[in-house]
Structure 1
């Protein structure tokens, strides 16, 4: 059939794929070669599965050019393997080396390679089993996300990467400056300070744009890149990362938002738990902990209650006090978040109703105090064991006068956010949403400690790979 690609190794190894007298073509890279007196064996991988396909070459001359890393095209017959290590093997009749590989220079050898070493060879590190498996698990989680939101009648929206505002108001955005052209078009506009006539940035979040689209489509989400100019060197931060963000109209309850986030996350985890790559990670890491989270109800506690528990632990403990003393009105540090999830609640926990002074301007005020410094907002952070914060969300402030006061308090120009005010001014409705770090989700599922190993080409302060 036209348009049909040849089967991948994953398809060939599946129980459903026939083996009787089936002549096939296999393309991939040589993972290993073992030569004996009358026969040679090669393991071929095309990245579609952790397991490679064993190729049996009874004519040893055909194996003379097979070396680790070379790309090859093999023709032969797929058959049942007599050996216990694999169910199927390829009896090779023809070999074509498509791309040679010098074994003395090839940086991806069979021995264990450190993360730092593999980052230096980022263009090839996906050929290592764990990195290839990580990318396949990313694919599984991505498909599960789209499936979940389709089932909830959300629309997938492609939001802008270039923006004129800093959604979080934290001043951690990358500013855009065009490279001057050496030969500008004849009809080009005179050069100005700003390409777009106003300052432009790489987006730190798609939330505000999703809110605008949600005023017509009701339920929207995106899985897209985000950028933050953080100098942090922790294992939880990247300068370029992927964010799952969703916004929907006509919700008045923070419980509804937390409920959807819990249901969505459990559904995604459930889609991953039976995957072979995920099982392999479980055998080597703490990835098993996410399985336990699927069948239990997740805890919920207010920020005030959480701080009370943190203070109690801090004052009653002699040997393991927190580095940062917890107190109401202070941000929860990573050590606080992990203690709450790992020890206090021993599982995922929603921390809700943070002080307004700690959160961005767009979160809906609870108006629970006449003192602005004591007022809280209808928001949550989802904390998970071993990782800390996974997601955050809130009801959005739909009341225009209250939003205006928040903009003014945060020193933000009502003129710059005129379009954002308009979606309240013209038919605005109660609404809410959340954002979830995709690499952090992947870290939770696989047990990979550092998010730099949860993305194909990581970027962080001081380094840009590829």
Structure 2
């Protein structure tokens, strides 16, 4: 007899089947009804125990969190809320569960408490739904790129370059922390280190992916990245995952086409394949919204927000046009924005991005041609000398979702930009080589995977969409 999953049994409409199932007890009431879950679905299956023919010791050990092996008969449910249930013929308790100390009781827990018990929090409905959606989104990412002719590239986790130029990187070293070798001028001599130079954990695989795009055509990375930013906000992690495609012979317009198609594809995938989890999370959010003041409530439910992205064409707007819209908007004139837009060159904040999406255009927005001085050195300089071929995709409720650009393919221009930022050419000699040998127009974008999961699940804290969050002063588990 094969062991079934809860999701398989709930989908069956054949009664009288002899079945086996293993899972964890969510609740056990009246010494008779077990709500069993095995992680395969948000839903539990009811298992009806004949307590008169079950010994007292076994009944005492059927507690919340206990793992059990049940054999029984699948029958039509006698109660409301489910189509089938299991009449238990035998039950084996597979492991101990102490009801006095088990943290995940059948009641509402705060997310802060559940973060402290991250090893057990996926036993709750909310976090099991979030992590199933995270898994589905991950699969959808690989599926999209595979079907679109991309090659998956594993970029280095240990690197000597800082792609973003922010300097907030974790150092990788095996030098003696108390007595490191020093140079003549008293600085740490990294030539004596394991790699013979100063190295860090990567913040991006983009630069390495560019090199592969210039031979394989279309590549993407999807891996862990790290940033030593001392920030404890709900939007920052020290360890996070990045999706970064790079494509040769593709300009900014093609990059925007690719990013829009990609985002719609992965969102449509979960709308089609994770409906029950989305409906549960939507219901949770609607209950949460009822506790907020009317002015703070979202105008769209979770599924409406996802369809808003999947069903609408993305509006393409230059940064310059967006600044004019924002400068002349009512929130700006009445000083309702926290950051007032006064002049061209301002770095847009989430409140500005959301205004453009939710209030002005009422569709997802792609902003392009940003001021060069607020964007990275590798972005292609426009003929006006003051803007670069950058683009950001803005979503409702969250603001920026995707950031990308046409890359600077001209050697001399790239050298000039690096010199202006005091970036030594010898540190990126190989990156400059790409502009010497067979240089061509190429583009790409980056998407923080956790930000996508936040958008897809409606979770408001990034620590709740990754299995074990790494943040300042927190590396538990």
Deviation, 1:314, is 6.6
Are 2:471 and 1:460 equivalent residues in the alignment? yes
Match of 1:165 in 2: 161
Match of 1:282 in 2: 282
Give distance in 2, aligned partners of 1:236 and 1:78. Answer: 46
Any idea what the Cα deviations from partners look like across 1:412-465, whole Å, max 9, x if unmatched? Answer: 111110111112222222110001111111111121111111111112223223
Are 2:82 and 1:90 equivalent residues in the alignment? no
**Stretch deviating more after TM superposition (90-99 or 55-64):** 55-64
Match of 2:98 in 1: 102
Match of 1:350 in 2: 366
Match of 1:187 in 2: none
Is contact 2:68-2:92 (8 Å) kept? yes
Question: Matched residue of 1:273: which SS?
Answer: helix
Q: Unaligned 5+ residue runs, structure 2? A: 178-188, 286-300
Deviation, 1:318, is 2.4
**Stretch deviating more after TM superposition (48-57 or 328-337):** 328-337
Are 2:432 and 1:421 equivalent residues in the alignment? yes
Deviation, 1:32, is 0.4
1:310 to 311, 316, 326: 326
Give distance in 2, aligned partners of 1:400 and 1:368. Answer: 18
Deviation, 1:82, is 2.7
Is contact 1:322-1:336 (8 Å) kept? no
Match of 1:50 in 2: 42
Match of 2:150 in 1: 154
Q: Provide the aligned length of Structure 1 versus Structure 2.
A: 444
Deviation, 1:34, is 1.1
**Pairwise CA RMSD:** 2.1
Are 2:410 and 1:399 equivalent residues in the alignment? yes
Give distance in 2, aligned partners of 1:127 and 1:415. Answer: 51
Match of 1:11 in 2: 8
Are 2:462 and 1:446 equivalent residues in the alignment? no
Are 2:389 and 1:378 equivalent residues in the alignment? yes
Give distance in 1, aligned partners of 2:120 and 2:330. Answer: 46
Deviation, 1:216, is 1.9
Match of 2:210 in 1: 211
TM-score, structure 2 length as denominator?
0.88
Q: Unaligned 5+ residue runs, structure 1? A: 182-189, 370-374
Deviation, 1:221, is 1.0
Report the CA distance shift for 1:316/1:386 in structure 2 as closer, same or farther (over 3 A).
closer
Larger proportion of helix = 2
Deviation, 1:63, is 2.9
Match of 1:176 in 2: 172
**Stretch deviating more after TM superposition (238-247 or 456-465):** 456-465
Any idea what the Cα deviations from partners look like across 1:345-376, whole Å, max 9, x if unmatched? Answer: 2231111111111111111111213xxxxx11
Deviation, 1:316, is 5.8
Report the CA distance shift for 1:391/1:191 in structure 2 as closer, same or farther (over 3 A).
closer
Give distance in 2, aligned partners of 1:118 and 1:91. Answer: 33
